Chain A
Amino acid sequence: MKRDNPSLYGALQLGLLVNVLLRAQTLFWTREGLATLLSGILVTAAVGLVFARTWPLAQCLALRCGFIALLLAGSGLDILSLWQLYSAVYPDVVNLFGICLTVLIPVAYLRRVSAIAQTANVVLGLLLVACVILVLSVAERLRICNLQMAAMGEADCLDAMRAQCTLYPELLLPALWPDHEKRGTHTVLRLAAFGAVFNIGVHLLLELFFGAAMPDARNPLHQAARCGALSVFDRLEWLQLIVWTMAVSVKLALHLYAVTRLADAPRTTENSLTAMPFFAGYAAVLLFLCAVARNWDFAVMSQWRNVAAWGFAAAVAGIGGIRWLTGFAAPKKA
């Protein structure tokens, strides 16, 4: 009940779930995904761990700026993917500016670590409950014989491996904050495993539901959700969308916190709030990014973001490794 050491582990988990729910699905078949699961986990966890070790040694102004850019790009992509989802479901009703406002305004109330941690836990709980409701509501339509039986191809396995090796910022973020805001020493490993297993679980659900049509389905999770009718309402996808939107807000708040730390921005001493002008700046940058990139190819942007994340992690690992070998003393403040 006392908020001495809020942990951001829940917020990181939520960030990974958002990645899976909004854009990572239908990239591979479940069987291929399962075959490459372990390697995917090990690769991403290893990168995260190496990054966590080398970041304190390597950090400099340029790398900090690079990380901030990566986080801003990730936040922008999250907003754009949410907008695409809404545009597909409710065409001509919700505009990009509206989506930006509705996910960014709540971040004004999520400028404190403890608020992010607690809200993330609640939203994570809601998201898991919503997922359980989704699975229960479509359980009748899940057919085992929808699983694809074609022989495993090398290309499919590579696709699955590539998809599972996507380097999301959430795997790099634990390097930024002090130990008490993580959870234990194996945070990155657990996060990687959690994200990958959830990703496979979602793919399994989709394959059982859609069968061969899975890769062709636009916003497949939403389409599955709309078939669920457990309540007095005729359907459930609106509930899913509400929870996903809430999760995106929390994810943006997490990114704001990380940007605040990276930029060493002012935080009030009494309650460690990120200053309002800094938040306003963050929101303005995201609005600008979204406005610029609204017509760009989303798949290409996602790929570039992934390439940039890998490149950034490699640069940090390289510089940190060299400094470690040459006996560079890390500054005390992470």
Chain B
Amino acid sequence: MADRICRAKKSLILAVAVLLLTGCAGRPLIEREIVRAIFFAREDGKEHAVLLLQNQESEDSSDYEVASGEGDSAAQALADAAESLDGVMFYGLTDLVTLPADCDWEQLQEFASLLYETAQPSPEITLFVMDSRTRDNLEQTAGDLYDEMQAVEKKYRISCGLESVLSQANQAILPCWQETGYGIAVLRAGAPPLRYVEPVRAQLAAVLCGQSRKLEFVFSDGSISCTAGATVLFHALRDRTQVILRLQDASLSSLTQDIPNEEQTLRRLLSAELEDAFAQLCADTRAIGADPFRLGFWQACLQGAPGNDLPAELVVEYA
């Protein structure tokens, strides 16, 4: 009995020693380079990656550092940036990635697969298509840019995660960064990307493809401002697809004296503006063979055939 207890004790001590020797692979926080955002850029035929890192010397979470690298591919640029740092890269808290301004569908796929492989264990990464900033500019403004993008994402309730950009087989829709608000880029395999910078079209496109649930814009002529929550309903009819945009808590105001500040008038003008924007979006996307709003899907579900040639109309309703 005593012999057995002695053996059990020895085994226990051995097990604990093995545990301690084989494990202990944890890494102190201070040795990690915590990446908050990655800004990809393309300049002179080279790929650049600017990493926004958490400053580990500071207790303030909004204190950042910047590292950058370049290479023939985005992966090389990212590796180059990582090599310039002493610590171990940690992408677990990366929540923003921007892509070069001229990014098309094929490049998007490359970036997505690079992020899937590299950025582990990563949370939902929000993707933006960047404006045409240079690497130097990005290095200087990365911290502010990150904060501004976060603010815009929060303000317009944008959600464009890495997992959702490739949810359609040959097309994607992504928000684009611009100084005021955001734009939208429609990427289609084998076609040049479409980019909408005008707020009404960009925000309408984001709402219709499910990336946002809020409209907050001023008409391009500066006449009316609008703020509203938005939900979308698709009705597939035999001869057309009806997209019902339901606006909640809409707040409209006239910004010029030409337009009376009457609710009915403003609503009528808003509806007309949105319908125009929708028609333009449909025409443009059809021209490159894209269907970012999945109108074909609803036709196929409810009418049995995709009906890609059927017209689509937007109906604006106020809740």
Contact = CB atoms under 8 A, between A and B. Distances in A.
Q: A and B, one complex?
A: yes
Contacts of A211: 164, 166-168
Contacts of B169: 148, 212
Contact of A213 (B166, B294, B300, B306): B166
A135 interface: no
Interface in B231-283: none
B22 A97 contact: yes
B166 A216 contact: yes
Given A149-B300, A226-B122, A234-B123, A141 B25 contact: no
Interface in A226-254: 226-227, 229, 234-235, 237
B120 A88 contact: yes
Contacts of A234: 93, 123
Contact of A98 (B25, B166, B298, B306): B25
Interface string A178-200: 00000000000000000000000
B1 interface: no
Contacts of A226: 121-124
Contacts of B306: 149
Interface string B144-168: 0000000000000001010110111
B163 A93 contact: no
A94 interface: yes
Interface string A71-113: 0000000000000000011111111011001000100000000
Contacts of B159: 141
B19 interface: yes
B45 interface: no
A141 B164 contact: yes
A319 B120 CA distance: 50
Contacts of B113: 216
Pick the most buried of B117, B121, B168, B169: most chain A CB atoms within 10 A of its CB: B121
Interface in A28-46: none
B298 A145 contact: yes
A218 interface: yes
Contacts of A88: 120
Query: Chain A: interface residue count, which band?
Result: 35 or more
Given A98-B23, A149-B297, A227 B123 contact: yes
B210 interface: yes
Interface string A123-167: 000000000000000000101011111000000000000000000
A90 to B, nearest CB: 6
A223 interface: yes
Interface string B97-120: 000000000000000110011001
A22 B296 CA distance: 34
Contacts of A202: none
A224 B162 CA distance: 11
B310 to A, nearest CB: 15
A210 B27 contact: no
A218 B116 contact: yes
Interface string A195-221: 000000000000001111100111000
B26 interface: yes
A89 B116 CA distance: 10
A141 B166 contact: no
A145 B22 CA distance: 48
A146 B23 CA distance: 42
Pick the most buried of B25, B117, B296, B298: most chain A CB atoms within 10 A of its CB: B25
A227 B167 contact: no
A213 B161 CA distance: 13
B18 A224 contact: no
Contacts of B294: 145
A212 B164 contact: no
B166 A227 contact: no
Contacts of B27: 93
Contacts of B301: 149
Given A212-B166, A226-B123, A227-B124, A141 B161 contact: yes
A210 B167 CA distance: 5
Nearest to B291: A145
B123 A94 contact: no
A231 to B, nearest CB: 13
A100 B297 CA distance: 46
10 contacts: A93-B25, A101-B22, A105-B15, A212-B167, A213-B166, A216-B113, A218-B117, A226-B121, A226-B122, A227-B161
Which 4 pairs of residues, A with B, have the shortest CB-CB distance? A211-B167, A213-B166, A145-B294, A212-B169
